[in-house]
Structure 1
């Protein structure tokens, strides 16, 4: 298997290869189309010889909801290949595919990611014009010098806020209060003023406002605490307004066996968990335990940091933290154990401060001197690890709008936002290890015992015990139970008459081993169903237990005395 970044066609070619090579394990479907008409792939992974995909508890992984976060797509593609090629060789891959199901949507922002991969363009999610109906006049990011990258520009200006660093002249440090007598610069992304010809003799800076043309943020468009454009830039005109997200939501709703969810994002090197609206005390003790233990397992597997959305991102300035986000929707509306995983920790590798480690509030408290020192460390790391492929010296360019400028900096795509090409495989392996263990953590039913007792006159009493051998409860979370998610039901099937008991018998939910305590015997992890049936001696009877997020298990017994 090879870890790489995929174009749209390369991704589909690889998905078709997997489906052809592993027909008993892979089903690829088109779950919807993008605004520009590209197909959105949905993949089902499981061993169909051991059961129907819908009859097993499932982990759901989606990726590349933001156009530039292509490392998420790379991880998803690599992980699927690893699971399939490791079946029968690796015990975790084998157990995952035999006993569980994985659903994967490897690229949501198919339009945006394709432009990101094939042009210098960078934007949040979708290339369509939003929030305006027509593209506004102003500054747009663009590859003005034609080198294939949109880097940074530094423009000499008396009122500039930056100065060349004395230690590393590639670093632009903030101009200090009261600092005079030097050469100062404006520093901003490489780009140009669009429609400048319509502004007459106005200087460039008079029209240099940011013309935000592709402002849609798919991960603010879900129907959870949705805030609208005025409350959250990129939110969209209404929840699930975007065809890509509508398709994703319909796919999720069509698979009620989803018990765990991971959204693969970039960047930061952190596994984000619930809650998003306050500190951990707003979670039930059960859910706090489940989220914390799974996230810590993921941190160990991936080498990343971990923390709640609230702990990592809250600064005290936001009214609502990340309204309309997918992981909140999955947990709050469906009770699914949900995570957002930010791939690639450049700061950690360079020995610099990173939000994944210290949180956004503390990042905001860093001094300009600390920020400058961090940037020096990142440049030093990039010199060693990527060299000229990712470090671009400041180079003079005669800009049509701003005159003499310099263009340079670090590769924004495959140094800053995503791992360099030669480093993506390590991220894929480490994150994939977490995805596998998360899938293995979902509920798994088994039948410890069944007894059949003859009671005379053709009557038999059947008592069957069921247990959850998974880490997670059959409701996925405590929240899932509170949302009245359908629990386990017990069935007795065969050429018999049920005289006493019900088929189906409602069992409710079972906890998993993740809820056990050494202070008490296991609670609510096992249950039983009982029936009295009438039938001929020797008749084969099948007892089955099933639940939406628990999967199903069955065993056949004979009516014998």
Structure 2
């Protein structure tokens, strides 16, 4: 009797589950290009702490074990695990045998949305895999290494401690901003306890400001011949060390994007650098991971803000590093990115912004020959789909009024200040301006993820084709094979070739007795370069993008043979007779 009840119970449970699934399917209809009934539900209209990011990453790996794995690549300064997702179709080979794309975000703590954008890329790849043929083929061919936050301590500091939209940039409090010996001990004072460092004003008979009668959020400076009602006291806070400046010791400042081992300069040359390259454990963890994964051919680092697709060099002194052939590839991919992400512009760091020494972007390319972009996320164009034309805060007030319904601004309110008496505190929240408001997050995340997928797609893809045999007589025959790179990026960047960063590509024939082996330099004019040592395994310096390389063997036997290609950044390919 108990057995019968158990069977009936299980059958009822199965029927209930089927019914629930059917009912859920009745309630949804797939939108084009979006995961339908995802295994992992993630809301991309809000931000996640370090713990929230890791929780979502673990859910992705658990829900998609055949295409996603999670691991810690090291510890942060405060001991948090730096979690990385490896995403590829493991049934088609190990991740290290395929060209790979590195994606990270949030190197600066206030540049928070890089974490969500990188997470979105991981979520989209895994959730779309089951039903999308393009993603299926992409993960057969490629690997993605995704680390949403590479500054986990400072990410949480931004959320959990009082800050402005521009603070802090770093994690460890080790530097003394104003050189008064305090190293940030007096902290940033959140007088009203709302988590946002806004502004302070005070009524004054000699004030230069009045509140806009039409909009009390706004302060208007009066004319030179008039007296206002308020004086501007500056940032919310106190003068903790008596030097006359408020919150000047908010955090000890360093810049994790000045810590990388390429064209590094000390702090007295460029403010923000630490003692030596890779002083920071977070950056050192990434460096060690990348060095262990020579298959990484492309990289993307998400920053904010301004709506830019950036490439190096970071400094004019490094212009000669970026070869014209590689710049053509950078230009081709980024120009497509400008189409994919409206309002974003393709720029060069040193020429269009400022000099950066010891930056991540230059380290990836300079030391590893990896084609790397840094996208500066968020652009005011996204608000009203028109250029802001330098409207600055006027536009921010308009956005807050029309699109965020007043949620972006802390209204002026009185506070008894220990040093200034009665003041009013108010202003824009720390999560507005540089960071996307929630309603813009998912669309911009998708467009930027699509750009990184396009970049990854154009990492090398090799194939062996057009294998020909020629009878030479005397028991000898020539075998010629064409190795074709079907994508834009070469197997070796010019920087790689210049400094011999990575090993050559190898084209090997097995199952035949090889007498001689050659790289075909010009088949029409019979120009060949012979490899006398180990002729069965021919070393090819580079296989350019959208280009073929030919190799040739003279063999004395072998009717059934296999030709294989092994490239660190180009992956593997084979052909069998």
User: TM-score of the superposition, structure 2-length normalised?
Assistant: 0.81
User: TM-score of the superposition, structure 1-length normalised?
Assistant: 0.83
On the 8 A contact 2:207/2:227 being kept in 1, the answer is: no
The Cα of 1:240 is off from its aligned counterpart by: 0.7
Q: Give the alignment of 1:404-423 within 5 angstroms.
A: 404-413=422-431, 415-423=432-440
Instruction: Provide the secondary structure at the position in 2 that maps to 1:141.
Output: coil
Q: Give unmatched runs, 5+ long, in structure 1.
A: 197-203, 315-320, 355-369, 514-524
The Cα of 1:69 is off from its aligned counterpart by: 1.7
**Closer, same or farther in 2 for the Cα pair 1:138/1:312, shift >3 Å?**
same
Instruction: Provide the secondary structure at the position in 1 that maps to 2:275.
Output: coil
**Closer, same or farther in 2 for the Cα pair 1:503/1:164, shift >3 Å?**
farther
Matching residue of 1:344: 378
- Give CA deviations for 1:503-539 in whole Å, capped at 9, x if unaligned: 32012212213xxxxxxxxxxx2112222345565xx
Instruction: Provide the secondary structure at the position in 1 that maps to 2:78.
Output: coil
Measure the CA separation in 2 of the matches of 1:293 and 1:167: 49
Matching residue of 1:45: 87
Among 412, 417, 435, the alignment partner of 2:452 is 435
The Cα of 1:353 is off from its aligned counterpart by: 6.7
On the 8 A contact 2:468/2:479 being kept in 1, the answer is: yes
Equivalenced residues, count: 510
Matching residue of 2:551: 529
Matching residue of 2:345: 305
Do structure 1's residue 84 and structure 2's residue 126 form an aligned pair? Answer: yes
Measure the CA separation in 1 of the matches of 2:473 and 2:62: 55
Q: Give the alignment of 1:286-365 within 5 angstroms.
A: 286-303=325-342, 304-314=344-354, 321-346=355-380, 349=383
On the 8 A contact 2:158/2:168 being kept in 1, the answer is: no
Do structure 1's residue 470 and structure 2's residue 492 form an aligned pair? Answer: no
Measure the CA separation in 2 of the matches of 1:187 and 1:261: 44
On the 8 A contact 1:350/1:377 being kept in 2, the answer is: no
Matching residue of 2:495: 479
Matching residue of 2:189: 142
On the 8 A contact 2:103/2:118 being kept in 1, the answer is: yes
Matching residue of 1:228: 266
**Closer, same or farther in 2 for the Cα pair 1:15/1:407, shift >3 Å?**
same
Do structure 1's residue 244 and structure 2's residue 282 form an aligned pair? Answer: yes
On the 8 A contact 1:458/1:536 being kept in 2, the answer is: no
Matching residue of 1:541: 561
The Cα of 1:305 is off from its aligned counterpart by: 2.1
The Cα of 1:99 is off from its aligned counterpart by: 1.0
The Cα of 1:7 is off from its aligned counterpart by: 2.0
Measure the CA separation in 1 of the matches of 2:500 and 2:173: 41
Measure the CA separation in 2 of the matches of 1:236 and 1:162: 41
On the 8 A contact 2:209/2:219 being kept in 1, the answer is: yes
The Cα of 1:268 is off from its aligned counterpart by: 1.3
- Give CA deviations for 1:105-130 in whole Å, capped at 9, x if unaligned: 11111111123233434633443222
Matching residue of 1:199: none
Q: Give the alignment of 1:83-482 within 5 angstroms.
A: 83-121=125-163, 123-132=167-176, 135-136=182-183, 140-156=187-203, 164=211, 168-172=215-219, 181-194=227-240, 206=244, 208=246, 210-278=248-316, 283-303=322-342, 304-314=344-354, 321-346=355-380, 349=383, 373-413=391-431, 415-453=432-470, 460-475=477-492, 477-482=493-498
**Closer, same or farther in 2 for the Cα pair 1:328/1:160, shift >3 Å?**
farther
**Closer, same or farther in 2 for the Cα pair 1:352/1:225, shift >3 Å?**
farther
Instruction: Provide the secondary structure at the position in 1 that maps to 2:217.
Output: coil
On the 8 A contact 1:124/1:216 being kept in 2, the answer is: no
Q: Give unmatched runs, 5+ long, in structure 2.
A: 1-40, 518-534
Among 3, 11, 29, the alignment partner of 2:71 is 29
**Closer, same or farther in 2 for the Cα pair 1:128/1:507, shift >3 Å?**
closer
Measure the CA separation in 2 of the matches of 1:159 and 1:127: 41
**Closer, same or farther in 2 for the Cα pair 1:242/1:143, shift >3 Å?**
same
- Give CA deviations for 1:362-399 in whole Å, capped at 9, x if unaligned: xxxxxxxx86x431121111211112322221111112
Compare relative contact order (CA 8 Å, sep 6+) and give the higher one, 1 or 2.
1
**Closer, same or farther in 2 for the Cα pair 1:164/1:293, shift >3 Å?**
farther
Measure the CA separation in 1 of the matches of 2:222 and 2:516: 83
Measure the CA separation in 1 of the matches of 2:72 and 2:82: 6
On the 8 A contact 1:139/1:207 being kept in 2, the answer is: no
The Cα of 1:139 is off from its aligned counterpart by: 6.3
The Cα of 1:478 is off from its aligned counterpart by: 2.9
On the 8 A contact 1:280/1:288 being kept in 2, the answer is: no
**Closer, same or farther in 2 for the Cα pair 1:528/1:310, shift >3 Å?**
same
Measure the CA separation in 2 of the matches of 1:190 and 1:533: 80
The Cα of 1:232 is off from its aligned counterpart by: 2.1
The Cα of 1:184 is off from its aligned counterpart by: 4.5
Aligned-pair Cα RMSD in Å: 2.9
Instruction: Provide the secondary structure at the position in 1 that maps to 2:195.
Output: coil
On the 8 A contact 2:461/2:487 being kept in 1, the answer is: yes
Matching residue of 1:200: none
Measure the CA separation in 2 of the matches of 1:137 and 1:432: 37
Instruction: Provide the secondary structure at the position in 2 that maps to 1:377.
Output: helix
Measure the CA separation in 2 of the matches of 1:158 and 1:325: 49
Instruction: Provide the secondary structure at the position in 2 that maps to 1:416.
Output: coil
On the 8 A contact 2:564/2:575 being kept in 1, the answer is: yes
Do structure 1's residue 499 and structure 2's residue 521 form an aligned pair? Answer: no
